[in-house]
């Protein structure tokens, strides 16, 4: 975590604690006031009930009417006071003279507080005043005899300290609940923070933001087009390279959020989502634009949550492949020629040292004549200098491998109208000749014939060898991608040959029998340079 930045866990804990604390404090304030009001009301109601009970007591009414001894009021009032747990019960006559009091010495004296006036006029009321027993809540109610004449009044008091204690007792429960709520809130905040942290793989928000920026920069900087879809096959991501290819293919609508099968009908990403299997190096036609695509599922845990396709314009890939293939072939040809001439120089050096000058002259004349004849024939018949140079290099390569390679051409072969065809021919012939050299390596007769025939805008090429041959079953598999009898990571050469023939709209015929050799026959539409189609 960078200095000065709080962690997500700290932010969540602080935020939840503040929210819970503020909420509980506001709740406490509202409830406490309500509880205080309710407690006061309950104490008033209590005092009222006691006062009404005494004012309607026959004993009190008779004593205040002179029909009974007034001293009975003191005993009765004290019994009620103790039973109801009130501060005092005072019965007074119409002059305010006490007939009962918790302190018997104050019986017969005038009521203290100055708030008894309304009750002596027949009105019930509540007041808060200080008397001989301190501040208290007082409820006053008049006493009427049976004829309706008021003969006195009752005052029931509850100490304000008792009221305060009752309110505080109620508030204590609220405070305890508030504290418990805060503790639970803190624990919940910690657990929530840890859970979110685990979901985010331990990353802080600023780290996630930085990774998102880096991811976006990387996706937009790569030259390959990238398209990602979710579980519902809806496009969630498209980089700039993909948008350029879409525009090149005539797809100008915004792809984000659209169903991939509607936007790119031949993409097969929905199939990858269902099967969970990757599809690598597949060719796809995008509104006439040929692209090479890799499709892989996105798996989290054991669930496929999406799929990604990366792709490039096949034309660009072909140009790169042709350049690389041409460089490799030219390098192989130069290496073979260098090795061949080094061997001949060693022979010449040996003959010089031994003094065989006559034999040396014959040897050199044979080399020059053979070389002149070979090069002259090829350059005369094969008028494309690149293809001619390639064949001369292959002749040297075959001699170095101990194989007799012959090239024949009945009619001169002009350069093609499309220079790309030359590179593709070099790749195709290179694969066929290399395979033929390997096929005759362990045979007693090591011979390969390459024949060219051109006419009526059709180029026919036959590559014959005296190798081990192939069964019919193997002939059906030999052009499949990845199939090879030479080990792993092979099986691309003849696959590329078949793909090239298919692209040219030509034909490839394989004729072979075990131990009888193999013939590859190629029929390719070929328009010569300068021809008007």
385-402: pLDDT as tens digits: 888 888 887 887 888 788
- How far is C-alpha 502 from the geometric centre of its chain's CA atoms? 40
Q: Please check the confidence at residue 196 and state whether its pLDDT lies above 50.
A: yes
Alpha helix positions (H), 255-384: 260-263, 269-275, 314-354, 357-381
pLDDT of residue 492: 60
Query: Which of helix, strand or coil describes residue 256?
Result: coil
For the chain, give the mean pLDDT. 79
What average pLDDT does this structure show over 209-217? 72
The residue assigned the tokens 């005369």 is: 380
Q: How confident is the model at residue 489 (pLDDT cuts 50, 70, 90)?
A: very low
258-298: pLDDT as tens digits: 888 888 877 788 888 888 888 887 777 777 777 778 888 88
Query: Which of helix, strand or coil describes residue 8?
Result: helix
Q: Please check the confidence at residue 54 and state whether its pLDDT lies above 80.
A: yes
What is the token pair recorded at 226? 């990238």
What is the token pair recorded at 423? 């590179």
pLDDT of residue 448: 92
Strand segments, DSSP code E, in 124-267 are 125-131, 134-144, 150-159, 225-230, 235-238
Interhelix angle 160-199/8-55, rounded to 10 degrees, is: 160
- The Cα–Cα gap between 156 and 80 comes to 10
Distances (CA, A) of 121 to 31, 93, 98, 144, 326: 38, 12, 17, 12, 126
Q: How confident is the model at residue 153 (pLDDT cuts 50, 70, 90)?
A: very high
Q: Please check the confidence at residue 230 and state whether its pLDDT lies above 90.
A: no
What average pLDDT does this structure show over 392-419? 84
Domains of the chain: 11-166 (3.30.450.20), 213-313 (3.30.450.20), 356-525 (3.30.565.10)
Ramachandran angles phi, psi of 488, nearest 5°: -75, 165
Between residues 526 and 369, the one the model is more confident about? 526
Interhelix angle 493-504/419-439, rounded to 10 degrees, is: 140
Beta-sheet strand order (sheet of 404-409): 404-409, 447-455, 458-465, 517-525, 507-513
pLDDT of residue 157: 87
- Name residue 291's beta-bridge partners: 284, 313
pLDDT of residue 321: 56
pLDDT of residue 424: 81
Q: Please check the confidence at residue 436 and state whether its pLDDT lies above 50.
A: yes
- Write b or e for each residue in 425-438: b if 16 or more Cβ atoms lie within 10 A of its Cβ, otherwise e: bbbbbbbbbbbbbb
Q: Please check the confidence at residue 326 and state whether its pLDDT lies above 60.
A: no
Q: Please check the confidence at residue 12 and state whether its pLDDT lies above 80.
A: no
Ramachandran angles phi, psi of 282, nearest 5°: -100, 145
Q: Please check the confidence at residue 3 and state whether its pLDDT lies above 50.
A: no
Percent of the chain at pLDDT > 90 equals 9
Percent of the chain at pLDDT > 70 equals 83
Query: Which of helix, strand or coil describes residue 461?
Result: strand
Ramachandran angles phi, psi of 222, nearest 5°: -70, 150
What average pLDDT does this structure show over 462-483? 80
Query: Which of helix, strand or coil describes residue 69?
Result: coil
111-147: pLDDT as tens digits: 887 888 898 888 999 887 776 666 778 899 999 988 8
Alpha helix positions (H), 355-418: 357-381, 385-400
302-323: pLDDT as tens digits: 788 888 888 877 666 555 555 5
Rounded to the nearest 10 degrees, how much is the dihedral formed by the CA atoms of 343, 346, 350, 353?
Answer: 160
- How far is C-alpha 126 from the geometric centre of its chain's CA atoms? 71
The whole-model pTM stands at: 0.42
Q: How confident is the model at residue 1 (pLDDT cuts 50, 70, 90)?
A: very low
pLDDT of residue 471: 83
């Amino acid at each position: 975590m960078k200095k000065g930045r709080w962690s997500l866990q700290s932010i969540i804990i602080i935020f939840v604690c503040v929210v819970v604390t503020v909420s509980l404090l506001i709740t406490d304030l509202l409830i406490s006031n309500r509880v205080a009001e309710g407690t006061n009301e309950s104490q008033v109601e209590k005092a009222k009930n006691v006062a009404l009970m005494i004012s309607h007591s026959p004993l009190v009414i008779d004593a205040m009417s002179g029909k009974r001894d007034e001293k009975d009021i003191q005993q009765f009032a004290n019994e009620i006071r103790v039973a109801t747990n009130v501060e005092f019960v005072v019965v007074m006559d119409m002059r305010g003279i006490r007939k009962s009091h918790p302190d018997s010495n104050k019986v017969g004296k005038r009521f203290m507080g100055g708030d008894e006036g309304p009750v002596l006029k027949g009105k019930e009321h509540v007041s808060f005043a200080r008397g001989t027993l301190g501040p208290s809540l007082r409820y006053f109610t008049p006493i009427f005899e049976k004829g309706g004449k008021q003969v006195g009044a009752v005052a029931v008091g509850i100490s304000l300290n008792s009221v305060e204690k009752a309110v505080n007792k109620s508030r204590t429960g609220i405070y305890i609940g508030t504290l418990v709520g805060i503790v639970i809130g803190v624990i919940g905040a910690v657990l929530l923070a840890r859970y979110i942290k685990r979901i985010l793989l331990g990353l802080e928000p600023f780290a996630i933001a930085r990774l998102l920026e880096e991811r976006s920069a990387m996706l937009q900087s790569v030259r390959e087009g990238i398209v990602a879809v979710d579980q519902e096959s809806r496009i969630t991501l498209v980089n700039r390279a993909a948008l350029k290819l879409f525009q090149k293919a005539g797809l100008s609508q915004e792809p984000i959020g659209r169903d991939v099968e509607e936007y790119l009908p031949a993409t097969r990403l929905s199939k990858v989502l269902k099967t969970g299997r990757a599809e690598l190096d597949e060719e796809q036609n995008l509104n006439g634009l040929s692209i090479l695509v890799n499709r892989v599922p996105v798996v989290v845990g054991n669930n496929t949550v999406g799929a990604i396709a990366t792709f490039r314009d096949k034309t660009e890939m072909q140009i790169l492949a042709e350049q690389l293939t041409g460089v490799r072939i030219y390098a192989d040809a130069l290496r073979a020629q260098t090795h061949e001439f080094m061997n001949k120089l060693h022979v010449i050096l040996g003959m010089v040292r031994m003094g065989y000058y006559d034999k040396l002259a014959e040897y050199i004349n044979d080399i020059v004549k053979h070389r002149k004849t070979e090069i002259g024939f090829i350059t005369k018949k094969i008028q494309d200098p690149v293809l001619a140079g390639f064949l001369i290099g292959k002749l040297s390569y075959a001699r170095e491998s101990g194989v007799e390679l012959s090239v024949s051409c009945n009619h001169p072969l002009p350069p093609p109208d499309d220079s790309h065809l030359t590179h593709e021919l070099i790749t195709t012939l290179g694969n066929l000749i290399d395979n033929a050299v390997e096929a005759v390596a362990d045979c007693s007769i090591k011979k390969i014939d390459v024949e060219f025939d051109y006419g009526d805008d059709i180029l026919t090429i036959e590559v014959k060898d005296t190798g081990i041959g192939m069964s019919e079953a193997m002939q059906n598999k030999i052009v499949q991608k990845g199939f090879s009898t030479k080990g792993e990571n092979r099986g691309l050469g003849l696959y590329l040959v078949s793909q090239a023939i298919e692209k040219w709209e030509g034909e490839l015929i394989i004729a072979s029998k075990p131990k009888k050799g193999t013939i590859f026959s190629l029929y390719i539409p070929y328009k010569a340079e300068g021809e008007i189609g």
